[in-house]
Amino acid sequence: MKISFIIPRWPRDSFWDVIAFKFPLLSTSLLAGLTPLHHQIRIIDESLTEIDFNQEVDLVAITAMTPLALRGYEIADEFRRRGKKVVIGGIHASWLPEEAKAHCDSVAMGEADEIWMEMLEDAEKGTMKLFYRQKARTDLSRLPIPRRNLFPPKGYLFHNLIQTTRGCPYDCEFCSVTALHGRTYRMRPVSEVEKEIQSLERSKGYIFFVDDNIVGNLSHARELLHMLSRYRLRWVSQGPIHIAEDEEIVSLMARAGCHGLFIGFESLREENLDLMGKRINRIEAYEKGIRRLHDAGIGVYGSFVFGYDYDDPSVFDEFLEFAGQNRIEGAFLPILTPFPGTRIYQRLKQEGRLFTEDWSKYDMATVVFQPKRMTVQELQEGFWKVNRSFYSFPSMLKRIFNPFHLRRSLIIFGPMNLGLWPAVKKAERYTQKNLSNSLK
């Protein structure tokens, strides 16, 4: 069969279309690696390549997160009008399979690594079922080497994405990862990770380990980091701020080539952390933890969510002061977005605080619920203010381009900041123009 994996794009010039550096979707290349070689495969990332709806294809596989679901359905409908078989998977379809089934021949719910072969065999025989779900969670020791050769050669910030664990041991109210996987944390054998590193055809110098928490099991983390230290690598990943209290792990990460950690700080208010279930975070330890990571040469890319129940309009200036004082290299600064399947979605729905279930508005840049301690307009304007200010040139000079405090992580975070500076302005202009047109 001829198979096309398709990743829908964000709307042109919308916030995440212009602000986000592009990353390949690892799941597509993993499924491609599980596909028998007699099939012909294409991976089409619509953010980089226009879709040819008249292409010769026997099976179209579409994956989309919630804000891209409607675009995914449009793509599916267009292929089905041409008589093509379509399967839809991903986190949104996993939570709303009845919604997704109206646009496809089959819905893959949850992980698909160990059900993919059955789906292909059924597609070849013309006996595809409406729903597919694995009986058990994927055994990570059986993951294939991803087929990265199918990715576009240009357009991605990181080409080498590798997974060493799945899941997260914590249980945050807003998190889609825990909602999908439960509080499970599965580890891939380090020997398999090493084989994948050795298989990289393009430069091994830059790797993004896409684990939601690369140090969720310290024994596994130590083994992994000792292995990585045998290679000359530069990599980034995700982990909690309290890991900075473990001097051994921080030292191992630095020696192994870690240049940056994506850290979910989430809030500077204890009440919010308690409400969201992020009790492992201690605000009084934030500054010391950042300093320890910086001293080891590890940059900090923080995540802060705005709009939780104990946020008021002062929270935006509070964050900007914190970010400047601690010189964090980058930040993900979304509006709280209650994705289907999460506890926050259920809570806000039960409280009657959701405005809409138009999934295109669940883009982490649009307010879709009633905040408790500020107006919708204050939250929306605060979102633009905090992103615009954080990625302004004065902020960048203070945080990462200070000649007296240059770090090795500048090689990654410098270009990222410079790219986001004009992108935020462009996205804000686009959004304001669209809002103005909608009010006419």
Task: DSSP for 267-280, please give it.
Answer: -S-HHHHHHHT-TT
Spatial distance between the Cα atoms of 204 and 85, rounded to a whole number of angstroms: 37
The encoded tokens of residue 340 equal 């289907």
Looking at domain 2-133, its CATH class is: alpha beta
pLDDT score, position 94 = 94
Q: Which range has the worst mean pLDDT, 56-60, 128-132, 297-301, 434-438?
A: 434-438
Amino acid at position 274, single letter: D
Amino acid at position 259, single letter: H
What's the whole-number mean pLDDT along residues 172-185?
76
The encoded tokens of residue 32 equal 């491609």
Query: Which of these, 151, 45, 138, 63, lies nearest to 107 by C-alpha position?
Result: 63
Strand partners, 87: 61, 106
Q: Within 13 A of 79's CA, how many CA atoms are on the CB side?
A: 27
Residues 6+ apart with CB under 8 A from 268: 283, 286, 304, 315, 318, 319, 322
Report yes or no: 254 and 298 within 8 Å, Cβ to Cβ. yes
Mean per-residue pLDDT of the chain: 91
pLDDT in tens, 297-346: 999 999 999 999 999 999 999 999 999 999 999 999 999 999 999 999 99
Largest CA distance in the chain: 66
Phi first, then psi, for residue 209 (nearest 5°) are -80, 110
Element (H, E) at 95: helix 91-95
The one-character DSSP state at 90 is S
Spatial distance between the Cα atoms of 195 and 159, rounded to a whole number of angstroms: 17
Going 323 to 326 to 327 to 331, the CA torsion angle's sign is negative
Spatial distance between the Cα atoms of 112 and 295, rounded to a whole number of angstroms: 41
- Residue in this structure with the two tokens 């596989």, named with its chain if needed: 61
pLDDT score, position 109 = 95
Label the pairing between strands 131-133 and 161-162. unpaired
Query: Which of these, 333, 433, 435, lies nearest to 383 by C-alpha position?
Result: 333
pLDDT score, position 300 = 96
Q: How does residue 140 score in pLDDT terms, banded at 50, 70 and 90?
A: very high
Spatial distance between the Cα atoms of 22 and 48, rounded to a whole number of angstroms: 9
Residues 6+ apart with CB under 8 A from 265: 241, 281, 286, 302, 303, 304
What's the whole-number mean pLDDT along residues 274-296?
93
pLDDT in tens, 338-384: 999 999 999 999 999 999 999 999 999 999 999 999 999 999 999 99
pLDDT score, position 433 = 66
pLDDT score, position 227 = 97
Give the start-to-end residue ranges of the domains of the chain: 2-133, 158-431
Phi first, then psi, for residue 3 (nearest 5°) are -120, 135
Q: How does residue 37 score in pLDDT terms, banded at 50, 70 and 90?
A: very high
As a residue count, the chain comes to 440
pLDDT score, position 439 = 43
Looking at domain 158-431, its CATH class is: alpha beta
Spatial distance between the Cα atoms of 261 and 279, rounded to a whole number of angstroms: 20
- The three-point CA angle 292-257-201 to 5° equals 155
- Is 158-431 the same fold as 2-133? no
**pLDDT above 70 (res 440):** no
